[in-house]
Amino acid sequence: MNGKKLLYIETFGCQMNDRDSEIMRQLLAKAYEPTDVIGAADAIIVNTCSIRDKAEQKAYSLLGALRKRKRDKPDLIIAATGCVAQQEGARMLSRMPHVDLVVGPQNIYQLPELFDKARQFRQGIVATEMARSFHIPPFLPSLQQGNPHKRFVTIMQGCNNFCTYCIVPYTRGREISRKPEDILAEITHLAAGGVKEVTLLGQNVNSYGNDHPVGSRTSFASLLRRVTEIKGLERVRFTTSNPKDLSEELMQCFTDLAKLCPHFHLPVQSGSNAILQRMNRKYTIEHYLDRVAKLRGCCPEIALTTDIIVGFPDETEQDFQATMALIEKVRYHSAFSFKYSNRPPAKSCQFADSVGREEKERRLAVLQALQQQITLERNREYLGRRLELMVEGESRAAEGQWSGRSVTNHIVNFESQVALVPGQLVQAVIREACLHSLRGELSM
């Protein structure tokens, strides 16, 4: 025993939250070591997401279930972090009095002091202040904890776009970009420690640097160029982009930068211009399709994925059919699709949520059936092709069964009697295409 207590973290939501969970683990590492067993934990962090109704309900139901654990183990520290915590603040404490700490995304850096206070005073503490001038502190990730071969790197926080359905500007605040030097130092440190792949994270990476003084700005495309020059890195990815300001300079990177993976997540949300306008997306479908064509011109093998909302207020059957037509036109490699839900204080809550639950479900099912068929057809396009894979790991279920990821972000399962190392690059010829994965044969 090293005298350390045990910390359990449950993470909901986006990759930004995954990265924040890593940071919290590291910040608390002096006093706590991680555990996967919630029942053994001396402290539990629930890192919440409020993007959709369902995500928020999940976080609340886990937090609710912790009431009994706290009764049985009064010393247990329970913290709610992330977007629901930010949004609810003190309200969360009145609803969940067994919670000790409510901490917003900008406040996680104070976690060690907050934990000390929580242990000392044993009364609910709320830390959800958001500052306009907040800067994500330079922070070198731990090489001992976390995935050894691939990592997320947050390059900016917040969002200025105010899409009418979206809660993010309220929970994560306005856009704040990290300094390029801090980002490059973080990635250099990771690469020197053996990390082979990084994913740069931001709500809208295209506007990276726009909040820095004119004259000393680095665009996202130039940041990407500098990241791909870091020694030891094999692959670079990023997410997410708003199609309205997807620049020519960024598209050109897909032609020029060998380490930039040819996968682009380009959320469209709807195929109807009327709905896009009410969503305040600030682009038309014509503009979107033009970007898609240009991207494919820059990089013919690029895999496109997207996000779609069905049942936005006043979405007619015709609007929905326009979304279906768009899917057929673009033929995405895959898509995340959601039923619209009100997320107060997002502006769309002022519109009547006019599409009924059953109709939303019907539209979602029809859309997902079409997308699944296209995903399968897309996956079959890889049959017989030789792909470079970055090894993810061995299957827990069966010895000798491994999985890897292609540059286009496809999971490929294969057999290898030789032990491999996560992060290693291998070649495989694709022999089978399923909906969620491909199957390949190692080829030297």
Which amino acid belongs to residue 196? K
Considering only 13, 180, 267, 271, the residue that binds ligand SF4 (CB under 6 A) is: 13
Are residues 211 and 234 in contact, defined by beta-carbon separation less than 8 angstroms?
no
The answer to whether the beta carbons of residues 403 and 393 sit under 8 Å apart is yes
**Alpha carbon of residue 289 to chain centroid:** 24
Residues 187-246 that bind ligand SF4 (CB under 6 A): none
Q: Does 262 bind ligand SF4 (CB under 6 A)?
A: no
Of the residues 82, 146, 169, 440, which one makes contact with ligand SF4 according to CB under 6 A: 82
What is the x/- site pattern for ligand 5AD, positions 248-287, by CB under 6 A?
-------------------x-x------------------
364 touches ligand SF4 by CB under 6 A = no
Query: Distance (Å, rounded) from C-alpha 209 to C-alpha 214?
Result: 9
DSSP string of 105-170?
A: GGGGGGHHHHHHHHHHH-S-EEE----TT--PPP-PPPSSSS-SSEEEEE-EE--S---TT--HHH
- Give the whole-angstrom CA distance, residue 304 versus residue 296: 9
Choose the one of ligand SF4, ligand 5AD, none that binds residue 82, judging by a C-beta under 5 to 8 angstroms depending on kind: ligand SF4
**Binding status of residue 341 toward ligand 5AD by CB under 6 A:** yes
- Give 285: exposed, middle or buried? Use CB within 10 Å, 0-12, 13-18, 19+: buried
Q: How far is the CB of 443 from ligand SF4 (least distance, A)?
A: 38
Q: Which of residues 165-204 bind ligand 5AD (CB under 6 A)?
A: 165-166
**How many of the other CB atoms lie within 10 Å of CB of 231?**
7
The reply to whether 168 sits near ligand SF4 by the rule CB under 6 A is yes
CB of 309 vs ligand 5AD, minimal distance in Å: 5
Using the rule CB under 6 A, is 209 a contact of ligand 5AD?
no
SS3 category, 201:
strand
Residue 381 CB, nearest approach to ligand 5AD (Å): 26
Does residue number 108 form part of the binding site for ligand SF4 (CB under 6 A)?
no
**Selected binder of ligand 5AD within 7, 183, 309, 330 (CB under 6 A):** 309
Smallest distance, ligand 5AD to C-beta of residue 340, A? 5
Q: Is 50 in the site for ligand SF4 (CB under 6 A)?
A: yes
**Which among ligand SF4, ligand 5AD, none contacts residue 50 (Cβ within 5 to 8 A by kind)?**
ligand SF4
Nearer to ligand 5AD, 51 or 367 (CB): 51
323 binds ligand SF4 (CB under 6 A): no
24 near ligand 5AD, judged by CB under 6 A: no
Give the dihedral sign, CA 113/118/123/127. positive
Using CB positions, name the residue nearest to ligand SF4: 13
Taking the mean position of all CA atoms in its chain, how far away is CA 176? 17
> For residues 90 and 38, is the Cβ–Cβ distance under 8 A?
no
Q: How far apart are the C-alpha atoms of 313 and 293, rounded to whole Å?
A: 30
Q: What is the three-class DSSP state of 304? A: strand
Residue in this structure with the two tokens 């350390």, named with its chain if needed: 4
- Could you list the residues that contact ligand 5AD (CB under 6 A)? 51-52, 165-166, 267, 269, 307, 309, 338, 340-341, 343
Site residues (vs ligand SF4, CB under 6 A):
13-14, 16-17, 49-51, 82-83, 167-168, 171-172
